[in-house]
Amino acid sequence: MMDEINMISKSQIIDKLKKAGVTPTQQRVEIGQILFAKPQHMSADQVLSVVNQTGPVVSKATIYNTLGLFAKKGLVREVIVDPSKVFYDSNTSEHHHFYDIDTGSLMDINNGQLRLESMPVLPDGTEAEGIDIVIRVRKSMH
C-alpha cells in the first residue's frame, strides 16, 4: 500500500487542499495522500485502517470530519449505497456505480454506458445538484 500512497507527494496534496479552501493539517494531508493516490472508493473505516497503519493514530471522528469536509469542498464524492454504507470516491467526475452486495465493493460504470433520457419535473423552488445512480448487483444464482 505504501507504494500507492507515495504516488502523490505531500506538496501536491497541500496544494490541492489549499486550492479547495481546506487548511492542510498533518492529518488532512495524510488522509489526502491515501484518497488521492489513485481513483478509488473507500469507506471511512478503510481510510481509518490505512491511516493508522502508516503513522500516528488518528481518531475515527477526525476521519469522518475530514471526509465530510473533503466531500463538501468537492475533493471527493460521497456515494451512499445504503443507509449504513458510504464510500468516498476520489473520482469527482460525473459517473455512476455498480455496488456488489456480495463483496461490498463499489465499481465505476464507464461514462456513456448509462443514459438518462429525461429528468422528472423537479419540486417547486428546487434545482438538481447531481444524479447518482447505484446499481446493486450480486452473484447470479444460475
Residue 126 domain flag? no
Residue 59 domain flag? yes
pLDDT of residue 4: 43
pLDDT interval class at 5 (50, 70, 90)? very low
CA–CA separation, 135 vs 99, rounded Å? 6
Residue 44 domain flag? yes
Range of the domain at 9: 2-87
Residue 19 domain flag? yes
User: How far lies 1's CA from each of 9, 46, 49, 84, in Å?
Assistant: 15, 12, 12, 26
Q: Is the pLDDT of residue 6 over 50?
A: no
Residue 93 domain flag? no
**pTM for the whole thing?**
0.81
Query: Which is nearest to 27 in space by CA: 59, 71, 72, 74?
Result: 59
Residue 130 domain flag? no
Segment 122-131 shows an average pLDDT of 90
pLDDT of residue 7: 65
Q: pLDDT (tens digit, 9 = 90+) per residue, 96-121?
A: 999 999 999 999 998 788 888 888 99
Residue 96 domain flag? no
CA–CA separation, 37 vs 20, rounded Å? 17
Q: What are phi and psi of 59, to 5 degrees?
A: -75, 155
Q: pLDDT (tens digit, 9 = 90+) per residue, 25-73?
A: 999 999 999 999 999 999 999 999 999 997 778 999 999 999 999 999 9
| Angle subtended at Cα 6 by Cα 41 and Cα 25, rounded to the nearest 5 degrees | 80
CATH of the domain at 58: 1.10.10.10
Residue 81 domain flag? yes
CB 34 within 8 A of CB 51: yes
Segment 83-88 shows an average pLDDT of 90
Look at the chain and report how many structural domains it folds into.
Answer: 1
